[in-house]
Chains A and B, each alone.
Chain A
């Protein structure tokens, strides 16, 4: 056994590590200028400072996990059921720990319900992972081959992250559909999930954008926060797509490396067999063994590349699409308000005309319509302001989550690389030691620029 210790030459700071105190400068913009009466039901804070305080109070009272994929049924009607387990301290749930079985279309159904309701309020609803006909067909045929295993694992992990994002969102957690999803034993099957394939989701987002682009009246923003932020979001999405493409390439190259290393190891073993000098033959065979172990390490690294890094990027590309979506919702709300205002204007003009034409009963109707539309205008203006507030709050929250997520995932990624390196080192050390005729190394300590190795007495 090799004991490997590395002395770090860094003074580890005793401070608590945390970066949540950093304020993103662009988010501390001016206070919302529109006035509205605070309805008792809505907990809308009036300032962004209050907003941050509220966020800090949120603690994670709900913990969900998605595990144990199981193939149910056979042939083309087969599907995979996942175990969704919840652990919570909140009283609104039926107990502290419980679990249910859900299939992929159930998750899509949840998303559909949430997006219909919540996006109207400007909420960023986390999007679920994409459908994959190819992937599922393979699984239906047989769940045992490596590509099916990888597909199911990828989906399971993505579904877990999806649910975790949903329950960590304070408003979504309160939604009865979410509770039902987590708790209810017999969930009615979701229909109409065709729209929610990867392509379908994108289509939905783009349709909303198109509607916004077709708007003839240009919005005059006194507060440039929304415009600037939207531009930022678009840019970021672009950057992430580029990065994701390269990470994808990294994943593929790493997989190739695995294959090439395995093939090379076999070739080395054969060369070792051909070699007639016994010592050299042994050396070559041992090299083949070391390379075999390297292949395993490369496999693990490939998994890290993919599950930690690539999927993180893929998730956030989808999330940024959702963020764009809620900006578009706000524009629609503005559009509704503007349209109502112009309708009101038309009604007033019509009333004026009727006044002049002296038709009393029609005049009464016109007056009623004016009242109705005045109320609508007020309502839509309120809605617009409220959506603006929500969008702002949501984006702030999203950015915080994103920063935390990226930081923790990238650290995890680098750590996984570090771990595999630490296993790489003893393999080569052992090989080298055997090559120079020493027994197995039994203790290695390194410091600064040198390493001290103690060998077993042969």
Chain B
């Protein structure tokens, strides 16, 4: 849609595209379509409206919506992870908890510093914070939506009973959540902790594919975790610069400073306002595209690692069952049970290996495609910013240099500023 094939073509770069935080490659199977069309933010709790459209007969109605909280998503995720049958699958990572702490803290600080600011400055900063709140909100909705969409596009997981309950059950799920907690408690978490040791302690790997995957994923995970943290810092710097520009432009707008610049003050102030708007945009777009992309794949790779852990555990179980069988043969006691146990372990391990191989291969393909798509979209956003910034500034400078017609400058600057 952006470029027609062929070496020479035109492109329209300045279309405003609605920015999806992370474009994930999903096979959009029309038999089960899920989205989160709206959400409500009440104090700390976010209530998502999960909307489903389906042609499958397993559901009671073809279209329906239910309200869900973040904890419901976590319940669904944990239930899937605990399901033995899915041990050989990569379970899509759970969406992170909605985190309004950042903007909330800033709002608090702003409130404290209100006395030292001008009304102008305070209003502008408050607007910026409200935009930040909105961005966090938008991000969390998208991340929850992607989780459900990953599930709906997985041929095995989309048939899960609990998934259906999640989508359909029109009462709230708090009773189920409580039961699940009582049953599993911290079991899963403990498993993950010890899983690390299992993997690293080097259970002898017979399969080259898994050996390579293990090495690759462990290394890649640590690198992407590092990149995520550094991307976050970079984005924060952009935000800080945007905040500085807000303060500069509101100080310049005040009477005493603008006396210095006489007729050019409005134009110059608007320049700084535009700088600030663009810096702010760069920060939030960068956040959405780059940082969120890295964060998302960091979690996804963790999910892939979890699969490797489970397989490694199954391998360990199998090896233990072999040892137990040998011991039983030695003692000539309980041999049939030991043989049966060994067979079960072997089957489990083989099943995990087979489905694990499939999952990891398709995961790799999906990851590459999605990364590429997001990087291109990010480049497009940067281009949009740069172009807008340069044209705005060029206009401003023309005005400063060539005209003292106050009303012209004011009017046109207002229009240009709204264009951003």
- Asked if A411 and B398 sit within 8 Å, CB to CB, the answer is no
**Contact call A242/B251, Cβ cutoff below 8 A:** yes
A450 near B375: Cβ-Cβ < 8 Å: no
- Tell me if A438 counts as interface (CB < 8 A to partner B): yes
- Is A454 a contact partner of B8 (Cβ separation < 8 A)? yes
Which of A287, A410, A411, A454 has the most chain B CB within a 10 Å cutoff?
A: A410
State how many angstroms separate the Cβ of B346 from the closest Cβ of chain A. 30
A428 interface residue (CB < 8 Å to B): yes
Considering the chains assembled together, what is the distance between the CA atoms of A8 and B371 in angstroms? 36
Cβ contact within 8 Å between A411 and B397: yes
Task: Check if B372 sits within 8 Å of A283, measured CB to CB.
Answer: yes
A274 CA to B216 CA in the complex, in Å?
A: 7
Which of these binds chain B: A47-55, A92-100, A263-271, A361-369? A263-271
Alpha-carbon distance A267/B234, docked complex (angstroms) = 12
Report whether A270 and B223 are in contact in the complex, using a CB–CB cutoff of 8 Å: yes
Q: Quick one: closest A residue to B224, CB to CB?
A: A271
Answer whether A264 and B244 are a contact pair too, CB < 8 Å, given A17-B401, A411-B397, A451-B13. no
Q: Is the C-beta of A171 less than 8 angstroms from some C-beta in chain B?
A: no
Docked CA distance A230–B411 (Å): 35
**Would you give the shortest CB distance from A207 to chain B, in whole angstroms?**
26
Q: Does A35 contact B (CB under 8 A)?
A: no
A283 to B387, CA, bound (A): 23
Q: Chain B interface: which of A79-87, A344-352, A378-386, A401-409?
A: A401-409
In the complex, are the beta carbons of B237 and A452 less than 8 A apart?
no
Chain B CB within 8 A of A432 CB: yes
Residues of A within 8 A of B11 (CB): 450-453
Query: Known contacts A411-B397, A418-B397, A458-B7: does B376 contact A432 (CB below 8 Å)?
Result: yes
Which one, B256, B368, B389, contacts A279 given CB within 8 A? B368
The number of inter-chain residue pairs (CB within 8 angstroms) is 200
Check B368–A280 contact: CB distance below 8 A: yes
Of A287, A429, A446, A454, the most chain B CB neighbours within 10 A belong to A429
A436 contacts B by Cβ under 8 Å: yes
Please name all residues of chain A whose beta carbon is closer than 8 Å to the beta carbon of B240 when the two chains form the complex.
253, 256
Inter-chain CA distance A276–B212, complex, in Å, is 11
- The answer on a CB contact under 8 Å between B257 and A243 is yes
Residue of A with least CB distance to B381: A428
B231 contact set on A, CB distance < 8 A: 264
Report A-chain residues with C-beta under 8 Å of the C-beta of B402: 12-13, 15, 17
Check if A455 is an interface residue, CB within 8 A of chain B. Answer: yes
Q: Which one of A111-119, A244-252, A389-397 contacts B?
A: A244-252
Check A243 against B261 for contact (C-beta < 8 Å): no
Among the listed stretches B71-79, B171-179, B262-270, which one makes contact with chain A, having 4 or more residues with CB under 8 Å of it?
B262-270
Contact A277 B379 (CB under 8 A): no
B385-401 interface (Cβ within 8 A of A): 386-387, 389-391, 393-401
Which residue from chain A places its CB closest to the CB of B233 in the assembled complex? A260
A410-427 with Cβ < 8 A to chain B: 410-411, 414-415, 417-418, 421-422, 424-425
**Across the interface, which residues of A come within 8 angstroms of B375, CB to CB?**
283-284, 287, 435
A267→B398 contact, CB < 8 A: no
Interface status of A29 (Cβ within 8 A of chain B): no
Q: Hey, which chain A residues are within 8 Å of B398, CB to CB?
A: 8, 10, 12
Interface string of B263-305 (1 = CB under 8 A from A): 1100010010001000000000000000000000000000000
Q: Is the CB of B261 within 8 A of A410?
A: yes
A58 within 8 A of B: no
Given A6-B391, A454-B8, A406 and B241 touching (CB < 8 A)? no
Q: Which of A53-91 contact B (CB under 8 A)?
A: none
Specify which chain B residues have a CB less than 8 angstroms from the CB of A438 in the assembled complex. 3, 7
* Residue B328 lies at the interface, judged by CB distance under 8 Å to chain A: no
The smallest C-beta distance from A74 to any residue of chain B, in angstroms, reads: 40
Residue of B nearest to A422 (CB): B390
Residues of B near A249 (CB, < 8 A) are: 244, 247
Q: Mark A426-448, 1 if CB is under 8 A from B, else 0.
A: 00110110011011000000100
Tell whether A457 is near chain B: CB-to-CB under 8 Å: yes
**Residue B260 is within 8 A (CB to CB) of chain A in the complex:** yes
Residue ID in chain A nearest B10 by CB atoms: A452
Distance A435 CA – B379 CA, assembled complex (angstroms):
9
> Contact residue range for chain B?
35 or more
Assess A403 versus B383: contact at CB under 8 Å? Given A260-B234, A414-B397, A452-B11: no
A-side contacts of B237, CB under 8 Å: 253-254, 256-257, 260-261
Q: Is B404 an interface residue (CB 8 A)?
A: yes
Counting CB contacts under 8 A, is B195 at the interface?
Answer: no
Residue contact B234 to A264, C-beta cutoff 8 Å: yes
From residue B259, how far is it (CB to closest CB) to chain A in Å?
8
A180 at interface (Cβ–Cβ under 8 A)? no
A-chain residues with CB within 8 Å of residue B404 when the two chains form the complex: 19
> In the bound complex, do residue A246 and residue B223 qualify as a contact, i.e. CB atoms below 8 Å apart?
no
B63 beta carbon closer than 8 Å to chain A: no
Give bound CA distance, A422 to B401, whole Å: 20
A235 within 8 A of B: yes
B389 proximity list for chain A (CB < 8 A): 417, 421
> Does A175 sit at the interface, judged by CB under 8 A?
no
Alpha-carbon distance between A282 and B342 when the two chains are bound, in angstroms: 46
B305 CB to closest chain A CB (Å) equals: 14
The 8 Å CB contact of A403, one of B234, B260, B401, is B260
What's the least CB distance linking B135 to chain A, in Å?
Answer: 19
- Bits for B1-28, please: 1 = Cβ < 8 Å to A, else 0: 0110001111111100000000000000
Contact residues in A for B379 (Cβ distance below 8 Å)? 428-429, 431-432, 435
Mask: chain B, 192-220; 1 = CB below 8 Å from A; 0 = not: 00000000000000000000000010011
| A243 in complex: contacting residue of B10, B248, B399, CB < 8 Å | B248
B14 to chain A, nearest CB (A): 5
- Tell me the chain B residues, 225-254 only, with Cβ under 8 Å from chain A: 226-227, 230-231, 233-234, 236-238, 240-241, 244-245, 247-248, 251-252, 254
* Distance between Cα atoms of A255 and B233 in the complex (Å): 13
A19 touches B263 (CB 8 A): yes
Contacts of A253 in B (CB 8 A): 237, 240-241, 244
When the two chains form the complex, which single residue of A235, A271, A403 contacts B262, counting CB atoms closer than 8 Å? A403
Other-chain contact of A428, B254, B263, B364, B386 (Cβ < 8 Å)? B386
- A276–B360 CA distance with the chains assembled, in angstroms: 13
Residues of A within 8 A of B226 (CB): 267, 270-271
Whole-angstrom distance between the alpha carbons of A106 and B368 in the complex? 65
Verify A267–B230 contact, CB threshold 8 A.
yes
Q: Using Cβ atoms and an 8 Å threshold, which residues of chain B touch A456? A: 7
Q: Does A236 sit within 8 A of B, measured CB to CB?
A: yes
- Min CB distance A43 to B, Å, is 28
From A12, A232, A257, B241 is in contact (CB under 8 Å) with A257
B residues near A (Cβ < 8 Å) are 2-3, 7-14, 216, 219-220, 223-224, 226-227, 230-231, 233-234, 236-238, 240-241, 244-245, 247-248, 251-252, 254, 256-257, 259-264, 268, 271, 275, 364, 368, 371-372, 375-376, 379-380, 382-383, 386-387, 389-391, 393-404, 412
What are the 7 closest A-B residue pairs judged by CB atoms, nearest first? A432-B379, A257-B237, A425-B386, A428-B382, A250-B244, A264-B230, A253-B240
8 further A-B pairs in the complex, CB-CB below 8 A; given A264-B233, A421-B393: A13-B403, A257-B234, A257-B241, A260-B236, A414-B268, A418-B394, A451-B387, A458-B7
Question: Can you pick out 23 interface pairs between chain A and chain B where the beta carbons lie within 8 Å of each other?
Answer: A8-B394, A240-B257, A250-B241, A253-B241, A257-B238, A260-B230, A260-B234, A264-B227, A271-B220, A274-B220, A283-B375, A402-B260, A411-B401, A414-B396, A424-B386, A432-B380, A436-B2, A436-B376, A438-B3, A438-B7, A450-B13, A452-B11, A454-B8
